[in-house]
């Protein structure tokens, strides 16, 4: 079997594993998971590194969800930053939690990395939790061409966490970030998803809320465009299936990384399973945007 291609930012079928070269101080320290700006490159590469944002999450399952959502969104041509698994020396990451555990048998910790660098001043404005600022940001976002597909995407991946800090504007376009709470109730049992009971959970799971759908319905009730999105997504199903085939060939020889890659593949498979029901689920959401659309009462805290 040939080895997977080393990471290439422009090739979503290349192995998404990089090595941290250098990093700055933590950014946006108010969030649950610590994050840093840094330079990364494919392990063993002699080419210049490229900028990324690294996020440390002690849960490997959440890293898998982030990576799976990033790859699925790329296949669906949605503006979610390209994701990677980043191996990092913890001494290079200022403020790394003291209880952070390295990868078994290695000195590095595993982080989730994202290619996009967002403006620091924008994040600081949102941190103040000023409702007027949040309202302004939501209004701008809802009148962009990302809002309608973004609402459908959050319904597809059952993402309850799209607040005003989880979409960003880089001066040209909006990007959707932070998907670690997507498909949350299924996370601990992802490897069992291939069984019938697991498949049923994937199909039935709903998030308690869809923030983009709610905001879009309020601000653009007559031209929100959300119901046109499922057909567009369905037309790109083959790209999702091709992505799964590529992911099934990814092996690093590092058990921890290979388990994360396997779980990310399962996430993409779950998203494919959910596609046929998206139109129905989105219709139900729009009829009751703030209703209790839970498959279990404890789905989302």
Assess if residue 6 is contained within a domain. no
Assess if residue 296 is contained within a domain. no
**Cα Rg, the chain, nearest whole Å:** 19
- Altogether, the residues listed in the chain come to a count of 301
Assess if residue 4 is contained within a domain. no
d(CA 70, CA 125): 26
d(CA 151, CA 216): 8
d(CA 13, CA 220): 37
Alpha carbon of residue 174 to chain centroid: 15
Note the pLDDT of residue 189. 54
Per the structure, the complete domain to which residue 274 belongs is given by: 17-287
Cα–Cα nearest to 56, from 97, 92, 20: 97
184 contacts 298 by C-beta, under 8 angstroms: no
Note the pLDDT of residue 99. 86
Assess if residue 7 is contained within a domain. no
Assess if residue 253 is contained within a domain. yes
Note the pLDDT of residue 300. 33
Cα–Cα nearest to 142, from 120, 164, 124: 164
Cα–Cα nearest to 202, from 142, 150, 260, 269: 269
186 contacts 201 by C-beta, under 8 angstroms: yes
d(CA 207, CA 158): 5
Quote the crossing angle between the two packed helices 255-274 and 60-75, to the nearest 10°: 50
d(CA 170, CA 4): 32
pLDDT tens for the chain, residues 1 to 301? 567 888 988 898 999 999 999 999 888 666 678 899 999 999 888 788 899 999 999 989 899 999 999 999 999 999 999 999 999 999 999 999 888 999 999 999 999 999 976 665 444 445 545 788 889 999 999 999 999 999 999 999 999 999 888 998 988 899 999 999 898 755 555 555 556 666 777 778 889 899 999 999 999 999 999 999 999 999 999 999 999 999 999 999 999 999 999 999 989 999 999 999 999 999 999 987 654 433 333 333 3
Note the pLDDT of residue 299. 34
Which residues sit opposite 84 in a β-bridge? 113
CA distances (Å), 8 to each of 14, 66, 173, in order? 6, 18, 22
Note the pLDDT of residue 188. 54
DSSP element (H, E) containing 177: none
Assess if residue 52 is contained within a domain. yes
Assess if residue 40 is contained within a domain. yes
Where are the extended beta strands (E) located within the chain?
A: 17-27, 35-41, 50-55, 83-88, 109-114, 167-169, 174-176
Burial class (CB in 10 A: 0-12, 13-18, 19+), 202: buried
Helix runs in 205-247, H state only: 211-219, 229-235, 237-247
Q: Is the dihedral of CA 299, 57, 102, 52 positive or negative?
A: positive
Cα–Cα nearest to 214, from 273, 291, 279: 291
Domains in the chain: how many in total? 1
Tokens of 207: 């998030």
Which residue in the block uniquely carries the two structure tokens 């046929």?
276
59 contacts 43 by C-beta, under 8 angstroms: no
Assess if residue 174 is contained within a domain. yes
């Amino acid at each position: 079997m040939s080895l997977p291609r080393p990471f290439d930012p422009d090739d979503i079928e290349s192995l998404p594993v990089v090595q941290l070269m250098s990093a700055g101080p933590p950014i946006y320290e108010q969030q649950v998971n610590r994050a840093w700006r840094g330079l990364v490159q494919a392990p063993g590469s002699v080419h210049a590194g490229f900028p990324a944002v690294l996020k440390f999450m002690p849960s490997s399952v959440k890293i898998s969800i982030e990576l799976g959502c990033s790859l699925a969104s790329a296949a669906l041509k949605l503006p979610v930053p390209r994701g990677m698994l980043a191996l990092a020396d913890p001494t290079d990451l200022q403020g790394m939690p003291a209880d952070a555990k390295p990868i078994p048998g290695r000195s590095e910790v595993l982080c989730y990395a994202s290619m996009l660098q967002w403006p620091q001043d924008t994040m600081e404005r949102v941190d103040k939790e000023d409702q007027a600022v949040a309202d302004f940001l939501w209004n701008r976002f809802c009148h962009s061409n990302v809002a309608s597909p973004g609402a459908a995407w959050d319904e597809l991946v059952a993402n309850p966490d799209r607040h005003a800090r989880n979409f960003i504007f880089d001066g040209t376009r909006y990007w959707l970030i932070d998907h670690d709470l997507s498909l949350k109730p299924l996370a601990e049992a992802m490897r069992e998803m291939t069984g019938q009971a697991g498949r049923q959970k994937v199909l039935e799971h709903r998030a308690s809320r869809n923030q983009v759908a709610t905001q879009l319905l309020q601000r653009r009730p007559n031209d929100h465009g959300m119901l046109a999105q499922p057909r567009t997504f369905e037309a790109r199903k083959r790209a999702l299936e091709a992505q799964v085939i590529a992911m099934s060939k990814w092996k690093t020889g590092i058990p921890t990384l290979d388990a994360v890659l396997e779980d990310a593949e399962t996430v993409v498979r779950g998203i494919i399973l959910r596609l046929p029901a998206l139109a129905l689920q989105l219709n139900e959401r729009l009829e009751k945007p703030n209703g209790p659309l839970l498959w279990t009462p404890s789905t989302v805290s």
